[in-house]
Structure 1
Amino acid sequence: MLDFDWFSHKKFVANELNRLLPAHSFAEHMWKEIAEELHISLMECPFDEGETAFPRHHPVKALFILMSRDAGFYLDLKRLSDGGVDVPDECGVPLPDGLLPALTAAEQMAIYGFWLVTVHADCKGPMVGTGTNKYGWSREQLIGHQCDCVMLGYQALAYAQRLSSGQSARPDEIEKAKNLYFSDIGKKGSDALHGRRRDERRRVLEMWKSGNYLNKMDCARAAKKEGVVSVELQTARDWLQGARDPESWPAKQKK
């Protein structure tokens, strides 16, 4: 029953969020890259001394408040487009001629929720009946992670609907999160962080394309161990979500 409820809710909230993304739009073509950038910003950006880690624990609510205060958060859409779309890779598609980088706050929120439900929810690997899966996650942990992502998806849907109708965060909502990492210095630090994260992501993709790893988690673990990435292991694994299998796969042939 729990698995059935999970799939039912996942399908419903994903469909509702997808409806908020216009067809043939920048949001539709770039949703995965945009969501990854948002997730990195919320989860990986450093915090000034004395500030709380509110975005890491409440990423969807933090994104809503940040966009309410900054009229669109701080994604550099031109850099995002130049960095991952004009030249397609395993996790991107070419941007059609004439389609300019443009996003509304509601689209960003819908994209983030859609990614949480359709990509991030499955990042810990396949469900198991007993024991753990090949990545070391038990059934209880997998269900808990999936349910958390669906709940965040519902929250993102509610906020996206508010943003699309012109409603921003109320003063009391902003006050509750007054210690959010949000300053001009923070934005500059975020831009530098994004550049480093993009380089790390490309290096992890190159490692995977080498075919020297049996699965993506093994590749992410190697990247972490060798110091290729500074992000958490799960983030490195998320970067490989959707990447094609290597054309030459020596590690699989040795199995």
Structure 2
Amino acid sequence: MTGIYVLVAAVLLCAPPAGGYTYQMMYDCEYGSNTTEMVFFVKNVFNQKLNTMYDSRVGKYVGYGEYGMINANHFNSQRWKMFLRRAQVEILCRYNARLFRRSTLDRKVPPIVKVHQTKPADYGERSMLECRVLGFFPQEVKVRWLRDGEEVTSDVSSTDVMANGDWSFQLHSYLELTLRRGERVTCLVDHSSLMNSLEVDWDPTPLDTKHLKKSVGIIFFFIGFAAAAAGGAYYRWKRRSDFSPLGRQGQTPPSDLSEF
């Protein structure tokens, strides 16, 4: 049996005045990798000395010392008490052991993973990415960084696994790097709640959007500048050549003016 101990019920304690007596009764359940090998103890302690103990493996009380042996024989003669002790192996020990396993050993909560840039930086500049691994249980987790599918081991740092206070944990991992356009940067998380490794890519869309807006602004600036220059050139050319048909129709030939 492996050393798993669960104190499922305790302690009946009578605290006497100075110079008096102290009596304690403790329930103790011990089991291994499964609850079938359950051992139930009821320990009666008098003045910090073990007096009697019920052991489910022998199904009766065992006394220690003369006073303890007298009490053990008395407890063993009480049919209701022996029936209760046998029932407590199931209703007290195994019930609480199953509850403990569901809430701890067998509980699996997958992590929520988010990757973001910690400070503004452009392509070609040094920056840092953070991989936030949140809300997972149990606490054992492994986080790795990939760049275009190749694992990165340098310039990587991580916090300790931190408890959230609600039976879940979190961890933060950091990768310092020079940003490159078109490169795939991935946070890879392994946890017992996951069938396969969870891969979350850094999304460079905000950075690409900023570049796209800048490029579109420059393009529209040059288009507007070219349109303005073309309009100005056309206006100057028109004034010099007087190419308008209406202007020509309003002119009178000199030969007609001489007849009047």
> Normalised by the shorter chain, which TM-score bucket?
under 0.3
Q: Which has the larger helix fraction?
A: 1
Q: Which has the larger strand fraction?
A: 2
TM-score when scaled to structure 2?
A: 0.23
TM-score when scaled to structure 1?
A: 0.24
Larger radius of gyration: 2
